[in-house]
Chain A
Amino acid sequence: MRAFAYERPTDLDEAVALLAEHGPRARVLAGGTDLIIRLRDGSIRAEVVVDLKRIAELDGSIRDDGGRLSIGARTVMTAIGADPRIGRDFQALAEAAAVVGSTQIRNRATLAGNVCNASPAADTVPALLIHGADVVAVGPAGRRRIPSDEFFVRSGVTVLGPDELVCAIELPRPTIREGSVHVRRTRRRGHDLASVTLACVVGADGVTRLAYGSLGPRPLLVTDEDGLLADPAASDAAKMQRLAALFVGASPSARSMRAGPEYRLAMLHVLGLRAVREAIARLALRSGSR
């Protein structure tokens, strides 16, 4: 690995000042499961690595902030997969966190890192999109809250400035009953990046939201408002037709090595239908239990 300087700020102001000072020559380090690999293979060059893990304000906790769940920038996938509040209210996110890499990876990989890395295949992002998450960023001008759907530009690029960092991801507690699920397609069992990664939530109000990744430069969110997908009595054929209309934005790359574009598109529809079915079943289960 090429040599770089290492900074270990202990508060957010210091971290922001370091980023402002070094600009694009600085890189933020969270769990390092993406960054260390890129620094080693030379695809990212950093003169200064700013480690977030000793910043007092950024502990690894998940907080209840009056109707919102706030997941700090240091929270790792293992903690997200194990949190009972996330398991209950944001099941798709819990499931997505639990399939990232291996135990060793999940013990280091942060949710904020998965988001900031902005891979089109990032598994937690579709779940964050359907759950209506906000990304909370801090920079020299203070804090701003960015809706997750406005955060991603294209592979590896977000709206975050070079002098900003993400301090938390916030999830609004659902106000109606919901059933949600994350599903994905990989080449093999065990750990692998997804050829299709998809999350779905069906609400008691009949609205269905689906988000999918690995089928274009950024993950996409689509919504079915009129209750067709959420209707347990509607036919699979009708739902497939609706999904095809919703998924028009999918544009899988022909060059990706994980799976061909035709296969990805076909699997997107299959997984979409399966996810809708499972989300409906989970919603029904919740309706019964309350």
Chain B
Amino acid sequence: MTFARRIDLTVNGRPHRLEIAVHHTLLEVLRDDLGLTGTKECCLVGECGACTVLLDGISVDSCLVLAVEADGAEVTTVEGLAVDGRLHPLQEAFLATGAAQCGFCIPGQLVAATALLADDPQPTRAAVEEGIAGNLCRCGGYEQIIEAILGAAAVMAADGPAGGEADSVARGDPGR
């Protein structure tokens, strides 16, 4: 029986080989083992979305995923959205609309929005509301967040496919 395990994890394009405890979540490993504290820990019951990351391109609550389940996967966190110091259009739009108040929910909102726009590049307002229904904002900045996502979608459509990290992540069913 194995209580610890070696896993391979590619995070924001960078490969890692890690020795982890099998009862540790992906959220814990990202924050504590890899020091990627952009992904937030909050409710730990899948309600708030502050811990949202992309697992092989698909948005998940990392507090409900064991790190060992992600063995072999590509993970994208909020730290992976900017490329070469250039902010992702979603990040630019969040800044422009003042969507970030205290900022705590914003990493999760940004990652959830990245997944939403990858699936549906020109979403309706209703689709945006549904797409971020799993991301709570204690500051109540929903109007600005929705405005930012719709604005970013328009910018990205005008600029052609943007080169965010998330866009290069392969999507499939590798068993994670």
**When the two chains form their complex, are residues B133 and A5 in contact, meaning their CB atoms are under 8 A apart?**
no
**When the two chains form their complex, are residues A103 and B131 in contact, meaning their CB atoms are under 8 A apart?**
yes
**A2-B23, A3-B3, A107-B60 provided; 18 other pairs, C-beta below 8 A?**
A1-B24, A4-B3, A4-B23, A5-B22, A6-B2, A7-B2, A8-B68, A36-B65, A36-B66, A37-B64, A48-B1, A51-B69, A102-B46, A103-B59, A103-B133, A104-B60, A105-B46, A105-B134
A-B contact pairs, 10 of them (CB 8 A): A1-B25, A6-B5, A29-B69, A49-B22, A54-B175, A102-B134, A102-B135, A103-B133, A107-B58, A191-B47
| A60 interface residue (CB < 8 Å to B) | yes
**When the two chains form their complex, are residues A191 and B133 in contact, meaning their CB atoms are under 8 A apart?**
yes
**When the two chains form their complex, are residues B66 and A103 in contact, meaning their CB atoms are under 8 A apart?**
no
Instruction: Pick the contact of B173: A2, A60, A105 (CB < 8 A).
Output: A60
Measured between C-beta atoms, what is the minimum distance from A19 to chain B in Å? 14
Residues of B within 8 A of A104 (CB): 46, 49, 52, 59-61, 112, 134
| A59 interface residue (CB < 8 Å to B) | yes
Flag B1-28 by CB within 8 Å of A: 1 or 0 each: 1110100000000000000011111000
Residues of A within 8 A of B115 (CB): 103
Residues of A within 8 A of B134 (CB): 101-105, 191
Instruction: Pick the contact of B45: A37, A53, A54, A190 (CB < 8 A).
Output: A37
Complex: how many Å from CA A36 to CA B67?
12
Flag A1-20 by CB within 8 Å of B: 1 or 0 each: 11111111000000000000
Instruction: Pick the contact of A5: B3, B112, B175 (CB < 8 A).
Output: B3
Residues of B within 8 A of A117 (CB): none
Flag B112-135 by CB within 8 Å of A: 1 or 0 each: 100110000000000000110111
**When the two chains form their complex, are residues B22 and A6 in contact, meaning their CB atoms are under 8 A apart?**
yes
Please give the residue numbers on chain A whose beta carbons come within 8 Å of chain B beta carbons, in ascending order: 1-8, 29, 32-33, 36-37, 39-40, 48-49, 51, 53-54, 59-60, 74, 101-105, 107-108, 190-191
- A-B CB proximity, top 10 nearest: A102-B134, A5-B1, A6-B22, A104-B61, A104-B134, A54-B175, A36-B64, A190-B133, A1-B23, A53-B175
Residues of A within 8 A of B130 (CB): 103
Please give the residue numbers on chain B whose beta carbons come within 8 Å of chain A beta carbons, in ascending order: 1-3, 5, 21-25, 44-47, 49, 52, 58-61, 63-66, 68-69, 112, 115-116, 130-131, 133-135, 173, 175-176
A53 touching B176 in the complex, CB below 8 Å, given contacts A36-B25, A37-B46, A104-B112: yes
User: Closest residue to B130 on the A side, CB-wise?
Assistant: A103
User: Closest residue to B44 on the A side, CB-wise?
Assistant: A40
Measured between C-beta atoms, what is the minimum distance from B143 to chain A in Å? 15
Residues of A within 8 A of B59 (CB): 103-104, 107
Residues of A within 8 A of B61 (CB): 104-105, 108
Residues of A within 8 A of B24 (CB): 1
**When the two chains form their complex, are residues A108 and B64 in contact, meaning their CB atoms are under 8 A apart?**
yes
Complex: how many Å from CA A59 to CA B175?
8
Interface centre among A7, A40, A59, A103 (most CB of B within 10 A): A103
User: Closest residue to A6 on the B side, CB-wise?
Assistant: B22
Complex: how many Å from CA A152 to CA B54?
35
Residues of B within 8 A of A33 (CB): 46, 64
**When the two chains form their complex, are residues B112 and A53 in contact, meaning their CB atoms are under 8 A apart?**
no
User: Closest residue to A53 on the B side, CB-wise?
Assistant: B175
A103 touching B112 in the complex, CB below 8 Å, given contacts A32-B66, A59-B173: yes
Residues of B within 8 A of A107 (CB): 58-60
Residues of A within 8 A of B49 (CB): 102, 104
Residues of A within 8 A of B69 (CB): 29, 32, 51, 53
Residues of A within 8 A of B68 (CB): 6, 8, 51
Measured between C-beta atoms, what is the minimum distance from A135 to chain B in Å? 22
